[in-house]
Amino acid sequence: MRRVVITGIGLVTPLGCGRERFWSSLEQGVSGVDRITKFDASKHDCKIAAEVKDFDPLEYGMNKKQVRRLDFFSQYALASAHQAIEDAKLPLKDKNPNIGVIVGSGVGGISTIEDEKERFYLREKKGKNGASFVSPFFVPMIMPNAAAGNISMKYKLNNASMSTASACATGLHSIIYAAKDIMLGDCDVMIAGGTEGGITPLGVGCFANMNAICKDCNDEPQKASRPFDRERKGFVMGEGAGIVLLESLEYALKRGARIYAEIAGYGLTSDAHHITAPDPDSYEIARAIKLALDRAGISHEEVDYINAHGTSTPDNDLSETNGIKKVFGDSAYKVKISSTKSMMGHIIGGAGAIETLVCLFAMERSIVPPTINYENPDPQCDLYYVPNKAEHCEVNIAMNNSFGFGGHNAVLLLKRYENGQG
């Protein structure tokens, strides 16, 4: 099995686009949650979200014609891939059979679906054939694999190109399966990550009706997402994308690439319990963590930082806390844990990928980002969640947790590459 390293990163988030703006916001504990501006939410129970702002797709190698034919989730993914390829200084040819793509989305082009639905029914109400007014680009815009397909086409990446769709675990699943392709020798380089553009009337409305998102925080948006806090009432919808460029260690060293970190291990399990609720016994969460540690040959005492899934929902935060305790024992009270969803909301399919980048930044800067809005300790969630302020801490080994609707559990372990300059 070949060793896999991360050599490039790119991201579009509610805290800013590009690593420097994003990391500066994380370090300062800035909240990206505010009143919804993408549509009129005045009649909605939930009027807040973590939106991407100051985003111009034309800055990332797209032209106006392409943008018109891309849903937001694809635009965010293309912009992030553009950054990651530039960051890694990856040389590309007219054909690249050794480079592939795995980029997923939890819901795909929901914004386009809603827009085209309105166009359809508007014409039907006027007595016309609504179907004749639907865009011919409708399917290519909404399909969840559109992000991966457009990335592979733009950069002529001819190895495997595919997408994952495992709800909130999508981004981390993409990175893990991309790493496995390199480990097995199927390719040398993979573009991997997740993306989401689901802040729409239907997207926000359906999560509100499920009682999954916070509906009682409209007057104080920045206080809404409060993972592990006793007063947590649900997550906040977010949007954006995160992309990593993975390479075999041999390939990265050969071309003199800068190395952020090495993929140390991973764990994949399924609760097989409920379509939305986590299994209260936390057994499969714990097993995923244990699998990641065992594959890496790393003891739980060696883990310096855990970026928690930490959605700010009562059941999820409790089950994750208990899962960590089952594996870490007394060490669970010593490891630094934080949920950056407290700042950027829950980006669904993009969450696990963006949070992998959080782990990389923590390793690179030796700063652990905080869990903001942690004000009322929950006696059942009693670990150390780095409350409200970032902390300086050397991070050599970081763990990233992602758990999705459907019972999907994914855990990724990253470790510092000792000769990081290659």
Q: What domains appear along the chain, each with residue ranges and CATH number? A: 4-254 (3.40.47.10), 265-415 (3.40.47.10)
Q: Looking at the whole model, is its pTM more than 0.85?
A: yes
In 258-377, at which residue ranges do the beta strands (DSSP E only) sit?
261-270, 305-307, 336-338, 367-368
Q: Which residues contact 220 (CB under 8 A, 6 or more apart)?
A: none
Tell me whether strands 261-270 and 240-248 are parallel, antiparallel or unpaired: unpaired
pLDDT in tens, 351-384: 999 999 999 999 999 999 999 999 999 999 999 9
- 277 burial via Cβ count (<10 Å: 0-12, 13-18, 19+): middle
The number of beta carbons lying within 10 Å of the beta carbon of residue 170 is 33
Confidence band for 418, pLDDT divided at 50, 70 and 90 = confident
pLDDT in tens, 238-257: 999 999 999 999 999 999 99
d(CA 171, CA 309): 12
Sign of CA dihedral 139, 144, 147, 153: negative
Q: What is the mean pLDDT of residues 404-415?
A: 98
pLDDT in tens, 76-119: 999 999 999 999 999 999 999 999 999 999 999 999 999 999 99
Q: Say whether 17 is catalytic.
A: no
Q: What is the mean pLDDT of residues 179-201?
A: 98
d(CA 320, CA 399): 13
Q: Say whether 392 is catalytic.
A: no
Do 5 and 247 touch, CB atoms closer than 8 A? Answer: yes
Write down the pLDDT at residue 421: 42
Which entry of 82, 173, 309, 408 is annotated as an active-site residue? 309
Q: Is the pLDDT of residue 420 over 50?
A: no
Tokens 């994003």 belong to residue: 22
d(CA 189, CA 186): 9
Q: Say whether 359 is catalytic.
A: no
Which entry of 17, 46, 82, 168 is annotated as an active-site residue? 168
Which entry of 346, 359, 381, 408 is annotated as an active-site residue? 346
Q: What is the mean pLDDT of residues 274-295?
A: 97
The number of beta carbons lying within 10 Å of the beta carbon of residue 104 is 34
Task: Tell me phi and psi for residue 369, to 5 degrees.
Answer: -70, 155
